[in-house]
């Protein structure tokens, strides 16, 4: 997506909002007064709303769509074709943010060449400007292969949702005392170093102790974007549905619900249903009439 389209006429986007690029994201490393703001989107409407604020630096078309859009218990069933479709929807609504597409489970793990082909599909057919993939040391060769042909890569270490079965669920990683299913603090640290060494332009740190995230952020020269990783990262990301409280029964510790939109939606639906059944909706204000002159003509014909 070499050229960003102009904002649609009449929308609320700030015309002064800069276009975010991979180089501009890299320059935000260590700028505590300008921390990176990242959110997820899976469709045109939400993407346009997020981008219209002028405040969002990165919009991730995450494989979290498997849970919040498709209703799966984890991200593993999501396919490349599904991510590509949702990415196409998102880019149509974005003029300023950097759009990053997630590489879903088994779209990059087989070989660097498989990853290259599929990442290329997300950029060429999906319209993404970068891809995100999970894994650290084991993905060093793959990340380097993508970067070598100018496919920007955002890494993801710590709690990697595609490792759901190994971890036995979404479990905090990087504790000093670990169990077999968990990754130790030193291992997460080495994973982050490997992602940077391979050429990634940023890395997501998910579900790790705040102290470890601070240590990694200090050690890396690329921005870290935290989710459930404390306040010392170079930026933060949340699933937009969680931020808005669209799922009333889902509220993990790392999520701050800035609104309770799930309750608002249900309230609006109940009001609509009540007015339909009472005949209050649609009122004259919400109906189309041809006007008195048409009524006169019809009366003369009769």
pLDDT at residue number 16: 82
In this prediction the pTM is: 0.90
Please, what is the average pLDDT of the chain?
91
Whether residues 282 and 212 share a domain: the answer is no
pLDDT at residue number 292: 66
Catalytic-role residue among 141, 206, 263, 280? 206
Whether residues 134 and 149 share a domain: the answer is yes
Which DSSP string corresponds to 100-166? Answer: EEE--TTSSSS-HHHHHHHHHHHHHTT--SEEE--BSGGGHHHHHHHHHTT--EEEEEES-GGGHHH
- Rounded CA separation 109/103 (Å): 10
Whether residues 273 and 245 share a domain: the answer is no
What are 130's two structure tokens?
A: 């970068």
Q: Which domain holds residue 214?
A: 22-259
pLDDT at residue number 172: 86
**Chain segment 138-156, per-residue pLDDT in tens:** 999 999 999 999 999 999 9
The pair phi, psi for residue 255, each rounded to 5°, is -95, 130
pLDDT reading at 7 higher than 70: no
Whether residues 40 and 75 share a domain: the answer is yes
The answer to whether residue 3 is domain-embedded is no
Position 15 confidence tier, pLDDT thresholds 50, 70, 90: low
Q: Higher pLDDT residue, 11 or 27?
A: 27
pLDDT reading at 4 higher than 50: no
Q: Between the CA of residue 173 and those of 183, 249, 275, what are the distances in Å?
A: 5, 24, 50
With CA atoms as reference, report the closest residue to 166 among 152, 182, 188, 189.
Answer: 182
Whether residues 276 and 247 share a domain: the answer is no
- Rounded CA separation 150/162 (Å): 25
pLDDT reading at 297 higher than 60: no
Whether residues 107 and 236 share a domain: the answer is yes
Active site (annotated) includes residue 280: no
Whether residues 164 and 295 share a domain: the answer is no
């Amino acid at each position: 997506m070499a050229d960003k389209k102009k904002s649609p006429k009449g929308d609320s986007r700030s015309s002064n909002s800069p276009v975010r690029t991979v180089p501009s994201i890299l320059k935000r490393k260590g700028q505590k007064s300008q921390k990176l703001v990242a959110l997820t989107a899976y469709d045109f409407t939400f993407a346009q709303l997020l981008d219209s604020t002028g405040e969002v630096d990165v919009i991730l078309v995450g494989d979290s769509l498997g849970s919040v859009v498709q209703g799966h218990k984890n991200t593993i069933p999501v396919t490349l074709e599904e991510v590509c479709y949702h990415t196409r929807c998102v880019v149509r609504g974005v003029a300023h943010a950097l759009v990053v597409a997630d590489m879903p489970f088994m779209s990059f793990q087989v070989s660097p060449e498989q990853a290259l082909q599929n990442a290329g599909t997300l950029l060429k057919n999906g319209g993404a400007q970068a891809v995100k993939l999970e894994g650290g040391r084991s993905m060093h060769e793959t990340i380097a292969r993508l970067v070598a042909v100018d496919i920007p890569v955002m890494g993801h270490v710590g709690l990697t949702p595609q490792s759901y079965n190994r971890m036995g669920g979404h479990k905090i990683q990087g504790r000093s005392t670990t169990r077999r299913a968990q990754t130790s603090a030193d291992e997460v640290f080495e994973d982050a170093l490997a992602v940077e060494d391979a050429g990634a332009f940023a890395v997501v740190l998910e579900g790790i102790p705040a102290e470890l995230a601070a240590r990694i952020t200090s050690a890396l020269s690329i921005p870290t974007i935290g989710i459930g990783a404390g306040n010392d990262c170079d930026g933060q990301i949340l699933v937009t549905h969680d931020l808005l409280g669209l799922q009333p029964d889902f509220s993990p510790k790392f999520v701050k619900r800035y609104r309770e939109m799930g309750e608002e939606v249900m309230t609006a639906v109940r009001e609509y249903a009540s007015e339909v059944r009472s005949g209050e909706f649609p009122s004259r204000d919400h109906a189309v009439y041809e006007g008195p002159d048409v009524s006169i003509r019809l009366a003369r014909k009769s």
